[in-house]
Amino acid sequence: MKADFAKFKTEIDSACFSEDPINNTLHSYDATNEFHLPAGVVRPRNEFDLQQIIRSANANFIPLVPRGAGTGFSGGALPLNKGGKLCSPSVVIDFLGMNKILELDEDDMVAKVQPGLVTFQFQEYVEQKGFFYPPDPASLKTCTLGGNVAENAGGPRCLKYGLTRDYVLAIDGFTGDGKPFHVGKGVLKNRSGYDLRHILIGSEGTLGVFSSILLKLRPKPEDRILFIAFFDDFNEATGMVNTLLHKGIQPSSMEFMDEFSVRAVERHGKFGLPLNYQALLLIEADGRSDEIPFLKRRIEDSLKVSAKEIRIAIEHYEQEAFWDIRRKTSPALRAFGNKKANEDISVPRKSIPAVIRGLREIADKNRINLINFGHIGDGNIHVNIMYDGKNPDDQFRVNLALTNIASLVNEVHGAISGEHGVGTVKKRFLPGNVDSVSYDLMRAIKKDFDPNGILNPGKMLY
Ligand SMILES: Cc1cc2nc3c(=O)[nH]c(=O)nc-3n(C[C@H](O)[C@H](O)[C@H](O)COP(=O)(O)OP(=O)(O)OC[C@H]3O[C@@H](n4cnc5c(N)ncnc54)[C@H](O)[C@@H]3O)c2cc1C
């Protein structure tokens, strides 16, 4: 398998290709803060360009790395220098030139989009038409729908509305050897054979390259209400999730921040948050306008039992200010270290108090800065370790802590990633988190979709 980069360049349309060093640098990173310079960047304008690029890359053993906005936290969009086993520098596929809404079918409430479309732009567009596309990763103003599907992105509203997976009806794209696939249909029920959509969703650019996606829409909720509550005791905050659900109250989001994340975001944005509590809960409920006063009363009554301070946002601008606190948390943590190891473990809700205790023990044992926030309603905790990436001793202790966290997750039968994916970052923990038969099946599936292993090599699987 000898890579022939010169031949690859002669076979693709030169108008789509760049080797400009500045452009390469702009495609060399993602939110892991790692850098790997690609050999070049291709920017397909349509499906024809895309197929030509993939076919030629496959014939010439050139690794391809699909890239949305590069906001991924697991290294999926990093063009690894050696391109895995192919030993050739990677070429990035940039989807900026394929970012259109192709169709909105108002009767069937579905929309067909190109993968480079920014999530928020799509949401704004459909909301103007009275529809709703719920998946809301905190990065939604930059990330793309292609990246969301490839990572099966979640977000706060998953609690009520589910993940990106729950909105993908069909995907068009190409396998690693350039064969076109049309997986799924514009129907709500589809039992025609194995459901290959669910293999492609969350495949992190390793199985196929998406060229268009058909998404399901919902009716837009009329109104919403938002609470921020502060707790002295972390267990009381986590217990609130089940308190509400068991009373039949279905919040759209339940987010939590530990005391360290509250301090970080307050220092970053001066939101006027009190700093003397163990946990903050952000709870949103939505629905018909006439349901909101009832939801407000029920949630407030429940919170009053254990929360020490409650704030309520009724107006849209107040709600956006509350959400800003949560969305700024991840960037605010940079103040605690130049490097961030970003785990997003997913555990059964009943294990959350034990897991949080276990995480604190891991932090103390390894002398690391460990900060937790996340989607508590889903049991999805973002565990952030902030450290000095230039200090080998810090790096060593962080690696130990990451191994300890993976073991803790396995002990409670959780998943090492709830929504950020495996990529390069959690690849070493995947074999311990799934059974060996499943792991071997994943490798076999990879081989079938991508026989020469050119799609995002070195990611997810060994
Ligand atoms: C501040 C911040 C907050 C975040 N909050 C959340 C959150 O709440 N929930 C959440 O789930 N994630 C979150 N993320 C992570 C990230 O935004 C998501 O994983 C997002 O889906 C990545 O989209 P992207 O367009 O940036 O993709 P990229 O990072 O560019 O790529 C991600 C993966 O998708 C693949 N890919 C991209 N396009 C295609 C395509 N057309 N075909 C096939 N594969 C493709 C890439 O190869 C890569 O493996 C956050 C990130 C940041 C920086």
| Structural domains for the chain | 5-96 (3.30.43.10), 99-219 (3.30.465.10), 223-330 (3.30.70.2190), 337-437 (3.30.70.2740)
pLDDT the model gives residue 410: 98
Tell me how far the alpha carbon of residue 41 lies from the centroid of ligand 1, in angstroms: 18
Ligand 1 atom 23: residue of nearest CA: 147
Residue 173 Cα: closest atom of ligand 1: 42
Question: Which ligand 1 atom minimizes the distance to the CA of 73?
Answer: 15
What are 134's two structure tokens? 């719920």
Residue 71 CA to ligand 1 center (angstroms) comes to: 5
Q: Return the pLDDT at 334.
A: 81
The alpha carbon of 145 and the centre of ligand 1 are apart by a number of angstroms equal to: 8
pLDDT tens digit sequence for 5-46: 999 999 999 999 999 999 999 999 999 989 999 999 999 999
- Supply the angle between the helices 352-366 and 234-246 in degrees, to the nearest 10: 160
Instruction: Tell me how far the alpha carbon of residue 325 lies from the centroid of ligand 1, in angstroms.
Output: 21
Give the global pTM: 0.95
The alpha carbon of 75 and the centre of ligand 1 are apart by a number of angstroms equal to: 9
For 305-356, write each residue's pLDDT tens digit: 999 999 999 999 999 999 999 989 988 988 788 888 989 999 999 999 999 9
pLDDT of residue 234: 86
Q: What is the pLDDT of residue 82?
A: 67
- Choose one of 43, 90, 139 to mutate for the ligand 1 pocket test, by most ligand atoms within 8 angstroms of C-beta: 139
pLDDT score, position 192: 95
Closest to 144 in 3D by CA, of 208, 177, 217, 95 = 95
Q: Can you tell me the distance from the alpha carbon of 2 to that of 101, in angstroms, rounded to the nearest whole number? A: 39
> Which portions of the chain are predicted below pLDDT 50?
none
Ligand 1 atom closest to residue 76's alpha carbon, by position in its atom list: 49
| Residues within 6 Å of ligand 1 by CB | 30-31, 65-73, 76-77, 95, 115, 137-139, 143-144, 146-148, 150-151, 153-155, 204-205, 209-210, 330-331, 419-420, 456
What pLDDT shows up at residue 33? 86
Nearest CA to ligand 1 atom 50: 139
458: left (phi over 0), alpha (psi -120 to 50) or beta: left
- What spacing in Å lies between the alpha carbon of 40 and ligand 1's midpoint? 21
